[in-house]
Every structure is written in structure tokens, then in C-alpha cells.
């Protein structure tokens, strides 16, 4: 049996949804994580500070009793976003970041940005006040292969933006490629990347080999094995530019298991067990705390959590339910396809 104690972790990219789904899943995050950056791609999206305040209130109303959890709110960037509203949200302490979704890139992103020039006044204001931009780093043009979207985004959108506005702080969320890792490493300042649990574990074979497996389908889609290995090397390196953002994305099973299934993998319940397994495989358990508890707060200008978490490795396998029941229906929990022996101590 092994034991490791770390500061309580945070999740720097989380989907909670709303209504019955949110009520059913929030405890899986708040049980383990002290804070999480909450994604704004609801229907309708969270586009104003008033929207974010109302959404935060709904989150707090369904938080399980006794759980200590702080939702860090974001705004959904549109071509109609007002710079003054963004600045007021930052000044009030409510807004932690603004999220850029290229239109059509992922779930509920159709209202995203099509012309970056139209949001430059907002981005310039964000740079001036020190508010980070979180980006879904994929292009959506139909001629670009889905497995190349991230690399093309870096070349045609992100790098030109950063050259145009180098003082803007950018988080490249859910990095999935070696090109993304290398680009972040090459940046002299103002660029960091979040890495998901599932992209450290699966490659595209998990989706396609032996039949189509919808519960391994996410966006950005899992890539080739050499990309997965680059992600693991970055996550376990201790490099402060990389930190955990699970992109845990609950969808009820009928929305995944259909002719046109939704993108998203629900990893919140077993993320810490999966990560301990991965870091142990890489002989990097001593760097787990940096990835899940230290690097993210430093990037977002927050203090690390004072509370601690203990993970214990048991001889017997840790068991997680296959599904999370919610008032809207069952949600399948991520299966890493190997037994988990690490578990968070009660």
C-alpha cells in the first residue's frame, strides 16, 4: 500500500451543465476539487456578467451540504460582447476568464466567434486588465481534417493573435497534440495549457477499434499515440505551464448513443484515481501535486489550497459506478480500460 498527500486539487476546465444534470453531477467535482473554472456553453450561453451571476447562484443552490467548493465563472465570448461588461465582471471578482469558442467547434458553440477582428476591442481590454482568455484551440473550416484542427488553429489563429496582442494572457485548453505542447513550451510568456485526464489515457483507437465507442468521443478528438505520449510527458514534467483541466463533460446516455452523438467524456468521479495511476506509471508521483494543485492557481493568480487530499493505493481494485444517475437520465462514467488501485481517502 502506498500513500500520497497533496494540496487539495482544482479543475481548470469543467462542464457542469444546468438543471437536473448539474444537480446530479456537481457532487462528483465538489467532493474532491476546491475550485473549478466553469464553462459557459449553456443553452442559452453565459454571455454577460449578469448571466454568470445567475448561473453561479444556481450552482451554489445545488451544492451538496458540507462541500466546500468555489465555482470560478467565465463568459462566453461573442461578436457582441461588451468590453465594459467584461471589465466590470473582472473588477467584481466574479469573472475569472473569458472563453473563445470558434463557431461550431464543440457542444453548444454555434454562437461562437467567426471573425476575430470583431472581438479585438474586448481582447485588448482583457489584456489591459489582466483577464485571461481561454481558447478552444481548433479551426472549424470544413476543408481541414478533424485530426489536424488543433495544429492549424495554432498556425492560423492563435499565433497571429499572440503576435498582434502579446500582452494577452492565453490558456490553450485541452491540448491534444505534440504541436500544441511544443508551441506552449516555445512561448516566452503569457501562454499555458490545460490537459485533460482522458487525453493522457486514450488515443483515437479507443473510439474506433472493435466498433464505434461513443463514450470515448470528445472534442478535441483523441489523436495518435505519439500525441498522447507528448501530453503525458508534459503533464508529468512539473513544467508550470501545464495543469489539469478535466474538460469533464456530462451527457445523458441517449445523447451519446445515437446516430449523431454528443462530444464529451465524464471523468469527474475517477479523475484523481486515474491521474495517480498515470503519474505512477511515469515515475512522477512527486509531481502530481504540481499538475493538479499548484500550477493552475499560479497561472490564474490565486493561492494554492490550504486543505490537503490523501490518495491511497490498495491491493484490491477501486470500484466506481459505471453510470451516474441524474434526474435527466444516466450518464456513463469514463472507463480507463485498466483497473484502478488508487483512491481518494475518506
DSSP string, 248-285: B----HHHHSSTTPPP-BB-GGGHHHHHHHHHHHTT-G
Give, in order, the Cα–Cα distances in Å from 31 to each of 9, 95, 150, 190, 251: 11, 23, 32, 31, 20
Residue 2 is inside which H or E element, if any? strand 2-7
Q: Tell me the three cell numbers of residue 112.
A: 461562437
Q: What is the CA radius of gyration of the chain?
A: 19
How many angstroms separate the CA atoms of 346 and 344, rounded?
6
Q: Tell me the three cell numbers of residue 247.
A: 474538460
Q: Burial-class residue 151 by CB neighbours within 10 Å (0-12, 13-18, 19+).
A: buried
Active-site option among 145, 182, 247, 346:
247
Q: What ranges in the chain are assigned the alpha helix state H?
A: 19-30, 49-61, 83-92, 120-129, 149-153, 159-164, 178-186, 205-208, 225-235, 253-256, 271-281, 288-289, 295-299
Give, in order, the Cα–Cα distances in Å from 35 to each of 8, 266, 344: 9, 18, 17
How many angstroms separate the CA atoms of 166 and 189, rounded?
8
Give, in order, the Cα–Cα distances in Å from 287 to each of 5, 112, 223, 338: 12, 36, 25, 22
Which residue reads 502530481 in cell numbers?
288
End-to-end CA distance of the chain: 16
Q: Are 16 and 40 in contact (CB under 8 A)?
A: no
Catalytic, 117? Answer no
Active site positions, annotated: 247
Amino acid at each position: 500500500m502506498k500513500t500520497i498527500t497533496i494540496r487539495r486539487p482544482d479543475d481548470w476546465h469543467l462542464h457542469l451543465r444546468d438543471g437536473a444534470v448539474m444537480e446530479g453531477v456537481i457532487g462528483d467535482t465538489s467532493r474532491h476539487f476546491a475550485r473549478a473554472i466553469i464553462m459557459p456553453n449553456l443553452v442559452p450561453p453565459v454571455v454577460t456578467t449578469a448571466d454568470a451571476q445567475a448561473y453561479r447562484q444556481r450552482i451554489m443552490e445545488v451544492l451538496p451540504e458540507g462541500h466546500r467548493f468555489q465555482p470560478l465563472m467565465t463568459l462566453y465570448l461573442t461578436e457582441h460582447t461588451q468590453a465594459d461588461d467584461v471589465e466590470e465582471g473582472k473588477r467584481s471578482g466574479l469573472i475569472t476568464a473569458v472563453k473563445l469558442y470558434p463557431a461550431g467547434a464543440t457542444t453548444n458553440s454555434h454562437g461562437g466567434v467567426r471573425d476575430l477582428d470583431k472581438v479585438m476591442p474586448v481582447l485588448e481590454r482583457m489584456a489591459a486588465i489582466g483577464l485571461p482568455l481561454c481558447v478552444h484551440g481548433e479551426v472549424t473550416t470544413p476543408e481541414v481534417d478533424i485530426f489536424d484542427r488543433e495544429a492549424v488553429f495554432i498556425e492560423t489563429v492563435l499565433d497571429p493573435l499572440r503576435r498582434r496582442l502579446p500582452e494577452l494572457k492565453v490558456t490553450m485548453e485541452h491540448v491534444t497534440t505534440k504541436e500544441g505542447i511544443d508551441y506552449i513550451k516555445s512561448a516566452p510568456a503569457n501562454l499555458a495549457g490545460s490537459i485533460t485526464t482522458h487525453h493522457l489515457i486514450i488515443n483515437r483507437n479507443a473510439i474506433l477499434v472493435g466498433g464505434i465507442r461513443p463514450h470515448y468521443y470528445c472534442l478535441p478528438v483523441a489523436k495518435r499515440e505519439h500525441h498522447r505520449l507528448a501530453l503525458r510527458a508534459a503533464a508529468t514534467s512539473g513544467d508550470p505551464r501545464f495543469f489539469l483541466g478535466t474538460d469533464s463533460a456530462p451527457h445523458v446516455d441517449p445523447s451519446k448513443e445515437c446516430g449523431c452523438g454528443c462530444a464529451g467524456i465524464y471523468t469527474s468521479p475517477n479523475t484523481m484515481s486515474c491521474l495517480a495511476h498515470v503519474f505512477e506509471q511515469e515515475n512522477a508521483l512527486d509531481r502530481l501535486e504540481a499538475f493538479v494543485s499548484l500550477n493552475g492557481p499560479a497561472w490564474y493568480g490565486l493561492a494554492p489550497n490550504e486543505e490537503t487530499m490523501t490518495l491511497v493505493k490498495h491491493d484490491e481494485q477501486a470500484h466506481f459506478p459505471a453510470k451516474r444517475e441524474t434526474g435527466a437520465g444516466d450518464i456513463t462514467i469514463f472507463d480507463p480500460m485498466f483497473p484502478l488501485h488508487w483512491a481518494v481517502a475518506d
